[in-house]
Structure 1
Amino acid sequence: MQSQVVCSGCRTLLLYPRGAPNVRCALCSTVTPVQPTGLEMDRIICGCCHTLLMYTRGATSVRCLCCQTVNLTNVNPSPAPNQVATVRCGSCQITLMYPYGAPSVKCAVCQYVTNVGSATHSQSQTVVVENPMSFDETGKLVSNVVVGVTTEKK
């Protein structure tokens, strides 16, 4: 039987025979120690930087070592597991992932609760379009600028 581990050097997924104490990566030659076989491991792709993360099965969240994003695991699968959003923690500024539509998210690092409902509902966007200069009916060179503002409510 084979198991899997993520290379600690290049983050490649490595296959190895069960019982091996460590594995050498064929790509970067880094030796990665293997967790004791008593721990059930699972993997998840970071929602921010797309790095493959390994974690102990049963964990509710995993912090990415590359971008520091706290990723939610799928311990109790929801009906729509792909609908997640990200927000910065209101206290420590770490990027948090949460199920889309949730009113708030609690940071696993500093325990601060960030409200996400109001931040996503009242975003305004300003659009400035500058077209090439043209000539008016009298022959004068004029600029063509259009400004638009929208407040999108969901």
Structure 2
Amino acid sequence: MTLGDDRAGRLILSLRRQGVTDARVLAAMEQVDRSLFVHERFLDQAWEDQALPIDCAQTISQPFIVGLMTQALQVGPRHRVLEIGTGSGYQCAVLSYMARFVYTVERYKSLLTEAEIKMKRLGLENVFTRHGDGGVGWIEQAPFDRIMVTAASPHEPTELLKQLKPG
């Protein structure tokens, strides 16, 4: 976020009013400039509380949803988090400010490549990426303290549940 940007500040205040009250979540979202993750043609809407289209018929999630999901995950500073569905990389970047390590899996190679470029540009050294089927997780790095699935699944993700630490 560009700290002098009134639109970004208004967005954070709006998220707080809507129920995203975890100070760590709001601070992480303040650190990540959402405009870096949206297409140029939508830059004027980067600070609106709405989902926006990205490549591969996917979207960058609405900031309220990012905040609410991140808050619900209760990420601690020593946690290892698995994210399924890297997309633009925005959610992953937010998680990177809260967790020790973030492992993210994306099925579209072009989306993953773009997200990797953005995360490298931001200097996020605690993020690890993989191209593949998120439904199988990242067994070689398991177990994880938390898993966030940013995509719909027609059935219970049993393979992912096996990769969670007990408790």
TM beyond 0.5: no
Return the TM-score normalized by structure 1: 0.28
Return the TM-score normalized by structure 2: 0.26
Higher Cα radius of gyration: 1
Q: Which has the higher helix share?
A: 2
